[in-house]
Structure 1
Amino acid sequence: MSKYPQAYIDYLIYFHSQRDYFECHEVLEEYWKEHPNDPLATAYVGCIQVAVSLYHQRRGNLAGAVKMLQSALKNFIESDLIKLGIEPDDFRAQLTARLAQLTAPDFQYEDLNIPLADAELEEICVKQSIEKALMWQCYSDFSNTYLINKHTLRDRSVVIAERELSRQTKQAAKRVKE
């Protein structure tokens, strides 16, 4: 049994073994929303923002990438990163360096690895990656257009239906108050 939530481990596997930054966002956001009082909630948001920044970087949306990375850096507190098994100084240095690279005219995307300080956490992630026939710290597959453009290619019917239901519920509640 790990001291980390499975959603966080899944995030790390998507991040390092599939480079599926969209799924990183999805899995950790769902956990974060289901656990609003988690003391590491702000750090989870920062992790989500790092994944979103990398998703934007890989697609060439550098303005979005910069915005997300700046926000992520603001959300990371050293003690929270330590609790997530991350080496805080190395991670912050990597993110700060990447932020500077993003404003250079010759920026070229490179994968980034989160420096894990907890060897047990990394062992769990590597083991689960192997069980899924994945390679830990693989490279992005730029030939996989679905992976690169997932937000535009995935089935959004469930999300759209949920938003419509939420909109209708709010309207009904507003009518009751009137």
Structure 2
Amino acid sequence: MYPKEYIQFLVHFNGTRDYFECHEILEEYWKESNDYQKDSIWVGLILLSVSRYHHRRENFSGAQRTLKKAINILSMHANRITALGLDVQVLIPSLSHLLKNVENMEGYQSINLPVIEPILLQACMERCESLGCTWGKGSNLEDKSIVHRHKLRDRTVVIEERMKALRNRKGNE
């Protein structure tokens, strides 16, 4: 009924609070779905997770920029948000409130995406439990492996892909 990647995204957003992983999961899904639209609902959710990552790291400029884009995109997809089992009447106003907090450089606080579809909620909670996380629990700001994930990841594959693309461009010149 729902893409497994979307369920994984929700589990990481509302459970592990690993916003970096949220971004990775949905970006891959977005690319594989051949939906290269920059205003896709998937891009809106990706930007929301990136914004949360920046806010938690006190990068208010990055958080504000990505959250504004997320709100614009998600606001265009109200029907799609509902079809994805989220309460659009709660989501959009809460994101607008969150934007004010970011603009005022207020500290990070965890938010939950308002999952209202019972089957989706059950699937997310079960998956969360299997990962050993607690659905809806706030972010552990002391867990540097989550807070600063981008600094700790293995970039070997990314570097190899960039080198390959560079070689291809040079070969086409």
Segments of 5+ residues of structure 2 without an aligned counterpart are none
TM-score (norm 1): 0.91
- The residue that corresponds to 2:65 in the other structure is 67
For residues 43-88 of structure 1, give each alpha carbon's deviation from its aligned partner in whole angstroms, at most 9, with x where no partner exists.
1110100100000000000010011110001111101111211111
Runs ≥4 residues deviating over 2 A: none
Which residue of the partner structure matches residue 87 of structure 2? 87
1:96-135 equivalence runs, <5 A: 96-105=96-105, 107-135=106-134
CA distance in 1, matches of 2:71, 2:104: 19
Number of residue pairs aligned between Structure 1 and Structure 2: 170
Please, what TM-score do these two structures have when normalized by structure 2? 0.93
SS of the residue 2:125 aligns to? helix
Pairs within 5 Å for 1:42-81: 42-76=40-74, 77-81=77-81
- 1:68-126 CA distance string (max 9 Å, x none): 11000111110111121111121000100000111115x02100100112111011000
Bigger drift between 61-70 and 139-148 goes to: 139-148
Larger Rg: 1
- Quote the Cα distance in structure 1 between the aligned partners of 2:42 and 2:154: 25
Provide structure 1 residue ranges, at least 5 long, that are not aligned to the other structure.
Answer: none
Distance in 2 of aligned mates of 1:100 and 1:163 = 37
Equivalent position of 1:10 in the other structure: 8
Deviation at 1:170, TM superposition (A): 2.4
Residue 38 of structure 1 deviates from its aligned partner by 8.5
> Are 1:34 and 2:36 matched, yes or no?
no
For residues 118-149 of structure 1, what are the alpha-carbon distances to aligned partners after superposition, in whole Å with 9 as ceiling and x for unaligned?
Answer: 11101100011112222111211111111111
Map of 2:153 onto structure 1: 154
| Equivalent position amino acid for 1:46 in 2 | G
Instruction: Give, in whole Å, the separation in 1 of the partners of 2:65 and 2:130.
Output: 35
Identity percentage over the alignment?
A: 33
Note if contact 2:41-2:73 (Cα within 8 Å) is conserved in structure 1.
yes
Letter in 2 for 1:169: N
CA contact (8 A) 2:141 2:147 kept: yes
Q: Which amino acid aligns with 1:17?
A: G
